[in-house]
């Protein structure tokens, strides 16, 4: 397409989204002081963001079409974020600088864009330094605050949680943020979906005030940090959650709270794997009768019997993992009631004893991942396992105390 068109003094709106423009943003664009809308998103524009764009004092939106990655999103821009952009004080929506290669600290002056209501995005860049406390001035924002996928460090300022109207999209994930999460997280009482603080280096306990996000219905992600101590029982107050409760890869200790059984509307993704959780699996885990995908409690220190109530998860069609724990006693016959399960049934690397229940032969829809290996299972291999003819990979029952011959019905599955 070539370079961007020249500036026009009287222009009030420029929409050039996804037109294949190349070259740089002309500094002359800063003279278009009547602009209320500017959308240069999804092109191949390179170079730096001109400081002159800070002169666009009448600019209200970075995208006339809602949520279309406007302003300067999704280009090839490099260099610093100009402090002058904080002078665009009338802007209320679609401040998009995301998905470029910007590589400075975040100017505290951007806190001057404090009338923003919808979308403030700096994610998917190479930004460094800390999250400015001045961002707490954006108290009107409701939808999408994103600084994830950068190289930010330091602690999260308590002022950030002055965004008490935030409803959808609070993203800090995939940075190198440290320290504890402030108790002021409890101000986010209107949060309904997409709370992402995963893949950082947060430590200490998760604040009990996180339970104040009781309106959250999906995508509560705190995985892959270094949170320690117990999972707050107050998380059971987030009882409207339907998908994406992700606490894996931390250092949580103690028991799995029975209050998590309040998540009766959950349909996918309950993950507490790779922690230091101990004690028994609560019987309340059997309340997730609508769960269709992914319950993962593997790589912890869980002990005791596997609750028979897990057999109530009859809608589960993908991923059941309790492997790499210290679960004991026999495998309940109810664990053969996952008639819809297609992939990943993993009870391996525990201390289960006694014989393999014949009822596991009812998992006939399973196509990949049948794991009972490295337990203390004994007796003969049930011929009923020969019904698992759909399993084409990872049929593992080795490293137990099984005896007798391999039933011919099973030989074809294991090879």
Instruction: Report the distance separating Cα 415 and Cα 413, nearest Å.
Output: 6
From the number of C-beta atoms within 10 Å of its C-beta (0-12, 13-18, 19+), residue 2 rates as: exposed
The stretch 133-162 carries a mean pLDDT of 97
Q: What is the DSSP letter of 199?
A: S
pLDDT the model gives residue 65: 78
The model's confidence at residue 7, banded by pLDDT at 50, 70 and 90, is very high
Q: Which pair of structure tokens corresponds to residue 369?
A: 């991942």
Question: Tens digit of pLDDT for each residue in 93-125?
Answer: 999 999 999 999 999 999 999 999 999 999 999
Q: What is the dihedral of CA 180, 172, 143, 65, to 10 degrees?
A: 170
Question: Quick one: what percent of the chain has pLDDT higher than 70?
Answer: 100
Token pair for residue 59? 């600019």
* pLDDT at residue 69, as a whole number: 87
Q: State the first-to-last Cα distance of the chain, in angstroms, to the nearest integer.
A: 57
Average pLDDT on 139-156 reads 97
The predicted pLDDT at position 414 comes to 65
Sign of CA dihedral 348, 350, 355, 360: negative
d(CA 246, CA 336): 26
* Contact of 207 with 184, CB cutoff 8 Å: no
Q: Is residue 9 classed as helix, strand or coil in its secondary structure?
A: coil
pLDDT at 150 over 90: yes
Rounded average pLDDT over 58-75: 90
Q: What are the angstrom distances between the C-alpha of 268 and each of 217, 265, 272, 291, 294?
A: 11, 9, 13, 6, 6
Residues 6+ apart with CB under 8 A from 84: 51, 52, 53, 54, 55, 109
SS (H, E, C) 100-115: CEECCECCHHHHHCCC
Does 415 have pLDDT greater than 60? no
Give percent of the chain above pLDDT 90.
95
Per-residue pLDDT tens digits for 335-369: 999 999 999 999 999 999 999 999 999 999 999 99
> What mean pLDDT is predicted for residues 195-202?
98
Taking CA atoms, 99 is separated from 165, 234, 284, in Å, by 26, 36, 42
Asked if 139 and 164 touch (Cβ cutoff 8 Å), the reply is yes
Residues 6+ apart with CB under 8 A from 371: 323, 344, 345, 346, 347, 348, 394, 396
- Tokens 């764009």 -> residue: 53
Whether the predicted pLDDT of 11 surpasses 60: yes
Mean pLDDT of 147-154: 98
Q: Which of 63-67, 304-308, 355-359 has the lowest mean pLDDT?
A: 63-67
Q: What's the average model confidence in pLDDT over 321-342?
A: 97
pLDDT at 370 over 60: yes
Q: What is the mean pLDDT of the chain?
A: 96
């Amino acid at each position: 397409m070539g370079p961007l068109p020249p500036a026009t003094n009287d222009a009030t709106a420029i929409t050039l989204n996804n037109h294949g423009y190349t070259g740089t943003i002309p500094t002359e664009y800063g003279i278009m002081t009547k602009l209320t809308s500017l959308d240069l998103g999804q092109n191949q524009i390179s170079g730096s963001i001109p400081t002159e764009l800070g002169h666009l004092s009448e600019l209200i939106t970075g995208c006339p079409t809602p949520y279309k990655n406007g302003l300067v999103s999704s280009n090839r821009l490099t260099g610093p974020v100009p402090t002058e952009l904080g002078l665009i004080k009338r802007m209320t929506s679609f401040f998009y600088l995301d998905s470029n290669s910007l590589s400075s600290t975040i100017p505290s002056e951007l806190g001057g864009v404090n009338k923003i209501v919808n979308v403030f995005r700096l994610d998917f860049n190479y930004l460094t330094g800390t999250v400015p406390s001045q961002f707490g001035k954006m108290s009107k924002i409701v939808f999408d605050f994103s600084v994830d996928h950068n190289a930010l460090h330091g602690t999260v300022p308590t002022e950030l949680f002055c965004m008490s109207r935030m409803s959808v999209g609070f993203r800090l994930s995939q940075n190198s943020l440290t320290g504890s999460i402030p108790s002021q997280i409890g101000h986010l009482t209107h949060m309904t979906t997409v709370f992402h603080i995963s893949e950082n280096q947060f430590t200490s306990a998760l604040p009990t005030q996180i339970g104040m996000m009781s309106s959250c219905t999906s995508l509560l992600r705190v995985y892959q940090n270094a949170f320690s101590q117990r999972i707050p029982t107050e998380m059971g107050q987030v009882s409207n959650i339907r998908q994406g409760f992700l606490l894996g890869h931390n250092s949580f200790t103690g028991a799995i709270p029975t209050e998590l059984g309040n998540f009766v509307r959950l349909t996918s993704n309950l993950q507490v794997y790779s922690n230091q959780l101990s004690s028994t699996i609560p019987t309340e885990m059997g309340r997730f009768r609508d769960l269709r995908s992914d319950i993962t409690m593997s790589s912890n220190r869980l002990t005791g019997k596997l609750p028979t109530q897990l057999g109530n998860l009859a809608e589960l069609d993908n991923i059941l993992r309790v492997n790499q724990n210290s679960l004991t006693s026999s495998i309940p016959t109810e664990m053969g009631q996952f008639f819809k399960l297609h992939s990943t049934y993993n009870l391996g690397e525990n201390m289960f004893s006694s014989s393999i229940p014949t009822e596991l032969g009812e998992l006939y829809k399973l196509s990949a991942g049948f794991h009972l290996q490295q337990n203390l299972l004994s007796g003969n291999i049930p011929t009923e396992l020969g019904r698992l003819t759909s399993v084409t990979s990872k049929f593992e029952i080795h490293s137990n105390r099984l005896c007798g011959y391999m039933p011919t019905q099973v030989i074809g599955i294991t090879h």
